[in-house]
Amino acid sequence: MWFKNLQVFRLTSPWQISADELNAQLSKISFSQCASNEMQSQGWASPRNNDMLVHTVNQQFLLALATEKKLLPSSVINQVAKARAQEMEEQQGFAPGRKAMKELKERVTDELLPRAFGVRRNTFIWIDPVNRWLVIDASSPSRADEVVKLLLKCCDKLPLEGLRVKSSPQACMTSWLAGNEAPKGFTIDQDTELKSSTEDKATVRYVRYTLEPEDVQKHIAAGKQCTKLAMTWDDRISFILTDTLTIKRIKPLDILDEEKDKGTNEEERFDADFMLMTAELAKMLDDIVFALDGEMETSTVI
């Protein structure tokens, strides 16, 4: 398995915890399906559909945060409530007021909720206690925030904070584009986004297009900076780096397929793939941090 997007955090100090200890802590908020009167349920689930909330391979931890939400569109609630309101108007001779309409919608929601269909999604988390990474497979910071908040509720004194680097990713990506020269170990690919810092937030995007240095200079002169840049690391992994240090559209390249341990069964193949992913991404993250002039010193414990 390979993560598609990376929200990257740092363990700011060594975190000595065993898989069994972490499993016990996560079990405080284990996942259960929505009750009939619940709109959403969230908790830790087994990443491999067994009894363990922590899957361990080569000192690397894999977790899964499960979220189930009931599908109950507001349009359906409004439609049913409107029909009920018409019935009430016919019976009492006047339409229900604002307060009565609000209460009516709440009653309709309570009635429909037990019959609503629940949709579940899993958000996967990779914890690397050896190299002190915590990485969430999520495209948005808000999804990562859900994970972090629940981790902090379960885990005592988790030494965690967002990855902070010395140089602005936006400034570095703009410089790499302007000079048409990627940092050592990387190549620049063909997807790019440049955005203005002015109020209008003028944005230009290039997809599968090699941007020439003179074009970059024109955009920079017009006040735009690079906010997304497609890159390849060591001919092994392609990705998009953003100005917020989110890493998107992770894709292992063919060279890694050749190095996969095929294994004899599904479990062995999964573990081999997870071990390969964590080893490669740990090295890639180190190189990205180095390209951005290193990490800012910190001793913060959340």
Averaged pLDDT score across all residues of the chain: 91
pLDDT at 302: 44
**In this model, does residue 25 exceed pLDDT 90?**
yes
Percent share of the chain, pLDDT over 90: 62
State the maximum Cα–Cα separation within the chain, in Å, rounded to a whole number: 78
Report pLDDT digits (tens) over 160-178: 999 999 999 999 999 999 8
Q: Which long-range contacts (CB under 8 A, 24 or more apart) does 110-117 make?
A: 110/37, 112/72, 112/76, 112/77, 112/80, 113/36, 113/37, 113/38, 113/39, 113/70, 113/72, 114/36, 114/37, 116/70, 116/71, 116/72, 117/70, 117/71
* Distance set, CA 203 to CA 192, 270, 285 (Å): 11, 40, 28
Give one word for 62, left, alpha or beta, with left for phi > 0 and alpha for psi -120 to 50: beta
Domain spans in the chain, listed from the N-terminal domain onward: 7-70+117-162, 74-114, 169-291
Beta carbons of 118 and 68 less than 8 angstroms apart: yes
Mean pLDDT of 13-18: 91
pLDDT at 182: 93
In which element (H, E) is residue 78 found?
A: helix 74-92
Indicate the burial class of 144 (C-beta count within 10 angstroms; 0-12, 13-18, 19 or more): buried
Q: Which long-range contacts (CB under 8 A, 24 or more apart) does 181-184 make?
A: 182/231, 183/287, 183/290, 183/291, 184/291
**In this model, does residue 301 exceed pLDDT 50?**
no
Mean pLDDT of 90-107: 87
